């Protein structure tokens, strides 16, 4: 499948070059409508935004898609100390400053919700509104797969052992060729009756290009995440979206976001799994556009 958006690079203050994609060729976004910032989930590429970006391109909505450092560039070892939520937020801040983006609407999916919230708390005056898809305000381990013992299994993932890491990395990088792995992603991540296999293959291709240790490091960080108190201070229009069949960030986590974000809207999508914007693109993208129009 085609790469989406116009690929651009920027050298940040620490000398690191990062990649981002936009809908506009110019160095700065148009001013007629707010810039929509799309924040990826954990070890996710562009595939989950396919229908969103296709729609935005067709109707001229300006967007920016930030590719996190340490992900698709093979620089995990050099970037190890900076592969974290706070750094992703800081990188995004430099990108938005660099393109002279004034006001933005943030849209985060999965871990992108964590990045969105990190950014909001650091730079609240820039964010006009936000949409939080399949995310969590707390450590997700207690809710993972709706299995109460899941959190107790996570320490196995965090064992620091070079042999384990090497084996896991090899399995990770060849998973795109494993029919069982591809099928599991199709079933757990999306509604297989609505999402074509080509999108799953695209996602798996991107996944295989990421070092397995990136996944481990970010899961470990997310298990220390808790912003319940900070959510009480949020005053911007907010939309929380969740699917009733999401096994990775089950619906109670989105309900928790909604209940702690005063005045937020809550869109529950029956039958949708972890990627509602792929399962039900017309509904999800329509609500994102409605949110943008509220603050335009």
280-283: long-range contacts, CB 8 A cutoff, minimum separation 24: 280/194, 281/51, 281/52, 281/55
What pLDDT sits at residue 74? 63
Q: In this predicted structure, what is the pLDDT of residue 6? A: 93
User: What does the alpha-carbon distance between residue 120 and residue 39 come to, in Å, rounded to a whole number?
Assistant: 12
30 neighbors 24 (Cβ within 8 angstroms): yes
Per-residue pLDDT band for 152 (boundaries 50, 70, 90) equals low
Taking the whole predicted model, whether its pTM rises above 0.85 is answered as yes
Residue 250 contacts by C-beta under 8 Å, 6 or more apart in sequence? 143, 146
pLDDT at 90 (0 to 100): 96
Residue range 7-15: average pLDDT?
94
Question: Of all residues in the chain, what percent carry a pLDDT higher than 70?
Answer: 95
pLDDT of 206 strictly over 60 = yes
- Using alpha carbons, list the distances in angstroms from residue 60 to 8, 36, 107, 249, 289: 19, 12, 17, 32, 12
pLDDT on residue 14: 92
pLDDT for 161 = 85
Strands 6-11 and 35-39, sheet pairing: unpaired
pLDDT exceeds 60 at position 231: yes
pLDDT of residue 86: 94
3-class SS letters over the chain: CCCCCEEEEEECCCCCEEEEEECCCCCCCCCCCCEEEEECCCCCCCHHHHHHHHHHHHHCCCEEEEECCCCCCCCHHHHHHHCCHHHHHHHHHHHHHHCCCCCEEEEEECHHHHHHHHHHHHCHHHEEEEEEECCCCECHHHCHHHCCCHHHHHHHHHCCCHHHHHHHHHHHHCHHHCHHHHHHHHHHHCCCCCCCHHHHHHHHHHHHCCCHHHHHHHHHHHCCCECHHHHCCCCCCEEEEEECCCCCCCHHHHHHHHHHCCCCEEEEECCCCCCHHHHCHHHHHHHHHHHHHHCC
128 Cβ neighbours under 8 A, 6+ residues apart: 34, 103, 104, 105, 236, 237, 295
Mean predicted confidence (pLDDT) in 6-28: 93
Please say if the pLDDT value at position 132 is more than 90: yes
CATH 3.40.50.300 fits 6-294, yes or no: no
pLDDT for residue 27: 87
Phi, psi of 94 (to 5 degrees): -65, -40
Residue 45 has a pLDDT of 85
Residue 237 has pLDDT above 60, yes or no: yes
pLDDT of 147 above 70: no
Give the confidence band of 263 by pLDDT, cuts at 50, 70, 90.
very high
**pLDDT value at residue 157:** 76
Q: pLDDT digit string (tens) for 22-55? A: 999 998 999 888 999 999 999 888 999 999 999 9
Q: Average pLDDT for residues 216-242, to the nearest whole number?
A: 94
């Amino acid at each position: 499948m085609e790469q989406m958006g116009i690929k651009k690079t920027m050298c940040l203050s620490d000398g690191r070059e990062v990649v981002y994609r936009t809908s506009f060729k110019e160095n700065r976004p148009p001013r007629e409508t707010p810039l929509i910032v799309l924040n990826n989930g954990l070890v996710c590429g562009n595939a989950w935004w396919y229908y969103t970006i296709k729609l935005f391109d067709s109707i001229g909505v300006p967007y920016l898609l930030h590719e996190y450092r340490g992900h698709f560039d093979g620089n995990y070892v050099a970037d190890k100390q900076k592969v974290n939520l706070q750094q992703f937020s800081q990188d995004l801040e430099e990108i938005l400053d660099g393109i002279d983006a004034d006001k933005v609407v943030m849209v985060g999916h999965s871990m992108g919700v964590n990045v969105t919230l990190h950014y909001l708390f650091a730079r609240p005056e820039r964010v006009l509104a936000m949409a939080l898809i399949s995310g969590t305000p707390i450590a997700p381990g207690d809710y993972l797969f709706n299995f109460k013992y899941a959190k107790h299994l996570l320490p196995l993932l965090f064992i620091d052992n070079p042999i384990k890491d090497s084996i896991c990395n090899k399995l990770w990088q060849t998973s795109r060729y494993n029919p069982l792995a591809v099928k599991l992603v199709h079933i757990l991540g999306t509604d297989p009756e609505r999402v074509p296999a080509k999108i799953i293959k695209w996602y798996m291709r991107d996944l295989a290009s990421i070092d397995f240790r990136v996944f481990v490091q970010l899961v470990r960080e997310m298990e220390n995440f808790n912003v319940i108190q900070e959510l009480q201070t949020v005053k911007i229009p907010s939309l929380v979206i969740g699917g009733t069949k999401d096994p990775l960030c089950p619906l109670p986590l989105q309900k928790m976001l909604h209940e702690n974000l005063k005045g937020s809207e809550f869109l529950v999508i029956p039958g949708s799994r972890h990627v509602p914007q792929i399962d039900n693109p017309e509904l999800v993208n329509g609500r994102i556009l409605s949110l943008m129009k509220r603050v335009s």
